[in-house]
């Protein structure tokens, strides 16, 4: 039986954070959810508020934080281009200053800390699929750099703190994830396609649609985060977490259209700057270190996500 812990989750009212908080509470841990609600939503944690083990703190992690906790999951940061490109300076600060503040807290407490890094550290990759040993191909001054380079810099601080101060760290590189509690205006491809299909609007594909992505259902992702946190201190990562099954964006649009039963037309738009052509994780390390592979089929996960968005749209009508 696991020992109950007090666990801090930054970005805890976000898509991934709220799902993680819910899972940790189900495992009988106490959860301190920290969020400034820039992209997080109170509706994501509404069902958790009555749980006596749940505590909410409205706080920006760019400001130092004091708390007594056993573990820290650092998930705070806008993850959608539509959000982080609106406030690039604040995004970079959240990635870097926020990470430093959480590392300082972990150092003070000698608490285990997990950094939610991203597949965006690989940029527009010249290696496919991406392994953890690949250093990436990132534009440091492009419109995505506040997020891409911010996450890369956060990884640097995590490993420098680890080498200098010797407290337990974990770094996971999260690939495209989807599922319930994504925002209606998320801007990422699955959310956008589903909302467009449900509303009968044109489904907009940027580029020729031949670029590929791989999509991991949120429950599988949360399972991996907890498994990584539970490894012994010798394992730091970075470790890729994602679904290695690739699909083209054009095929994804057609699949969502069919699952929704939509008559939406499919339209093509110019490709944004620095948008990667291919993205798929090599998950051999996750499989060997934590015995993890995603188990949710894309069709199954999309149906669950479509049902969630359908209810959300109905409530907003």
d(CA 216, CA 176) in angstroms, rounded, equals 6
List Cα–Cα distances, 103 to 112, 272, 303, in angstroms. Answer: 10, 34, 38
The DSSP symbol for 34 reads: E
- Range list of H helices, the chain: 15-26, 81-84, 88-109, 145-165, 189-199, 218-229, 249-260, 284-290, 298-316
Of 147, 161, 162, 217, the active-site residue reads 147
State how far the alpha carbon of 118 is from the alpha carbons of 59, 60, 154, 162, 210, in Å. Answer: 23, 20, 11, 19, 22
What is the 3-state composition of the chain as percent helix, strand, coil, each rounded to the nearest 5? 40, 20, 40
Query: Please, what's the b/e burial string for 224-245 (b: 16 or more CB within 10 A of its CB; e: otherwise)?
Result: bbbbbbebeeeebbbbbbbbbe
Told to judge if 147 belongs to the known catalytic residues of this protein, a careful annotator would answer yes
DSSP state of 209: S
For tokens 């101060």, the residue is 165
- DSSP letters spanning 78-120: --SHHHHTTSHHHHHHHHHHHHHHHHHHHHHHT-EEEEEEEGG
Question: How does DSSP classify residue 140?
Answer: T
User: Under the phi-then-psi rule, with left for phi > 0, alpha for psi from -120 to 50, and beta for the rest, what region is 53?
Assistant: alpha
Catalytic residue IDs: 147
């Amino acid at each position: 039986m696991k020992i109950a812990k007090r666990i801090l989750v930054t970005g805890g009212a976000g898509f991934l954070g709220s799902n993680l908080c819910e899972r940790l509470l189900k495992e009988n841990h106490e959860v301190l959810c920290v969020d400034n609600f820039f992209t997080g939503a109170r509706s994501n944690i509404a069902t958790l508020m009555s749980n006596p083990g749940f505590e909410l703190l409205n706080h920006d992690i760019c400001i130092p934080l004091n708390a007594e906790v056993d573990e820290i999951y650092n998930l705070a940061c806008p993850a959608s281009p539509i959000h982080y490109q609106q406030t690039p300076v604040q995004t970079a600060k959240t990635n870097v200053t926020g990470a430093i503040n959480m590392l300082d807290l972990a150092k003070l407490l000698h608490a285990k800390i997990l950094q939610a890094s991203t597949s965006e550290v690989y940029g527009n990759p010249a290696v496919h699929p991406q392994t953890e040993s690949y250093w990436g191909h990132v534009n440091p001054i492009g419109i995505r750099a506040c997020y891409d380079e911010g996450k890369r810099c956060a990884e640097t601080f995590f490993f420098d703190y680890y080498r200098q101060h010797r407290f337990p760290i974990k770094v996971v590189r999260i690939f495209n994830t989807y599922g319930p509690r994504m925002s209606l205006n998320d801007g990422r491809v699955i959310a956008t396609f589903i909302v467009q299909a449900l509303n009968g609007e044109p489904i907009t594909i940027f580029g020729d649609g031949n670029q590929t992505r791989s999509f991991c259902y949120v429950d599988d992702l949360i399972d991996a985060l907890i498994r990584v946190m539970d490894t012994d201190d010798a394992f730091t990562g970075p470790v890729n977490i994602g679904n290695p099954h690739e699909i083209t964006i054009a095929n994804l649009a057609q699949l969502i259209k069919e699952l929704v039963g939509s008559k939406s037309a499919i339209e093509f738009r110019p490709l944004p700057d620095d948008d990667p052509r291919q993205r798929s994780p090599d998950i051999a390390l996750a499989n060997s270190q934590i015995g993890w592979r995603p188990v949710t089929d894309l069709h199954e996960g999309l149906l669950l996500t479509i049902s969630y968005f359908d209810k959300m749209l109905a409530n907003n009508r």
